[in-house]
Amino acid sequence: MVMTRPTGARTIDDILAEARRRLVRLVPWAAAAELDAGDAVLVDIRPAAQRRAEGEVPDALIVERNVLEWRFDPASEYRLPVAGRYDLRVIVLCSEGYTSSLAAAALHDLGLTRSTDVIGGFRAWRAAGLPTRGVPDETAR
């Protein structure tokens, strides 16, 4: 069955491109430098199973994608203590850098316009030789 796309519907590629136009995305080394300077918080939005399979970045704040907006909206009663200001620099990390772009754009919608993500995600972070912990579980892929 071939379905006609409804008027106004966009593809995920369109949505991703729109999200990325709003961001100044970071290569892993640039993200690490901002973290080292103390000017940002790294937020890993991958689900637990993915973190177990791939490993983690030490000191990254774990906030799974399904609750990200509630935890970072400065006006939310469910926000994290670190998320009480709109000028917070949030660097979002996912596995490969796709979901993180959408998540960072959602943070922009909340007014956290300094938010961005890591190009290539955790896999690029690890490939760059930046600190990780946990041994990737090759059988989980």
Where are the domains positioned within the chain?
24-131
Within 13 Å, how many C-alpha atoms sit on residue 78's CB side?
A: 6
With 50 as the cut, is the pLDDT of residue 141 above it?
no
Mean pLDDT of 4-15: 92
Confidence of residue 138 (pLDDT cuts 50, 70, 90): low
**85-94 tens-digit pLDDT:** 999 999 999 9
The tokens for 137 are: 């579980």
What is the model's pLDDT at position 95? 97
CATH fold group of domain 24-131? Oxidized Rhodanese; domain 1 (3.40.250)
What is the model's pLDDT at position 25? 98
**pLDDT > 90 fraction of the chain, expressed in percent and rounded:** 89
What is the model's pLDDT at position 3? 83
**24-50 tens-digit pLDDT:** 999 999 999 999 999 899 999 999 999
The tokens for 97 are: 């850098």
With 90 as the cut, is the pLDDT of residue 135 above it?
no
Residue 25, class by beta-carbon neighbours within 10 Å (0-12 exposed, 13-18 middle, 19+ buried)?
middle
Residue 103, class by beta-carbon neighbours within 10 Å (0-12 exposed, 13-18 middle, 19+ buried)?
buried
Q: Is 74 left (phi over 0), alpha (psi -120 to 50) or beta?
A: alpha
